[in-house]
Amino acid sequence: MPKEIEKKFLVIDNSWENYVVGKILLKQAYIAITEDCIVRVRLSDKKAWLTVKGKQIGFTRTEFEYEIPLREGVELLKEFSHEKQIIKTRFFLECKGYEWIVDVFDGNNEGLVIAEIELRSEKSKFFMPEWVGEDVTTDFKYTNLHLVEHPFNKWEK
């Protein structure tokens, strides 16, 4: 069964921009939410994906992801998102031999910047760049699912 093992961190400065090797604009929404899993549709300008994720235990969860026709992804987003979408630019980084992702949120979550690193196991060691701040891996309020219902721009600062 495919597993997603990732750590998430707040980003504390813009020095991560020195490591960017690519980027993509993403829109996503949740089309089904149960106690045991969520179903998400995600779009870029050229592709669409349907993802089913299980409950997070530690920083591991079951994840099935399928590329779907872009036209169908657009229809799913329109039909089921009810205007509640996550919009972010995802930057791909290579930093000291490690692949990182930095998500710069837009729309209702503008101002939030989160770094992620996917690991092979929960015991994997990795390099912590100077631009990585607080570990928010297990803090539910930083999940995209929470941000849809409770946008960052409405948080008390």
Active site residues: 30
Q: What is the pTM of this model?
A: 0.93
Number of residues that this document lists for the chain:
157
41 pLDDT band, cuts 50/70/90, is: very high
10 pLDDT band, cuts 50/70/90, is: very high
Q: How much is the average pLDDT of 149-156? A: 92
pLDDT score of 7: 96
Domain housing 126: 3-154
Q: How much is the average pLDDT of 28-36? A: 92
Domains of the chain: total: 1
| SS3 label, residue 84 | coil
CATH classification of the domain holding 149: 2.40.320.10
Does residue 83 have a pLDDT over 80? no
Question: Exposed (0-12), middle (13-18) or buried (19+): which is 42, by Cβ within 10 Å?
Answer: buried
Does residue 84 have a pLDDT over 90? no
- What pLDDT, in 10s, does the model give residues 102-138? 999 999 999 999 999 999 889 999 999 999 999 999 9
Does residue 157 have a pLDDT over 70? no
> How far is C-alpha 124 from the geometric centre of its chain's CA atoms?
20
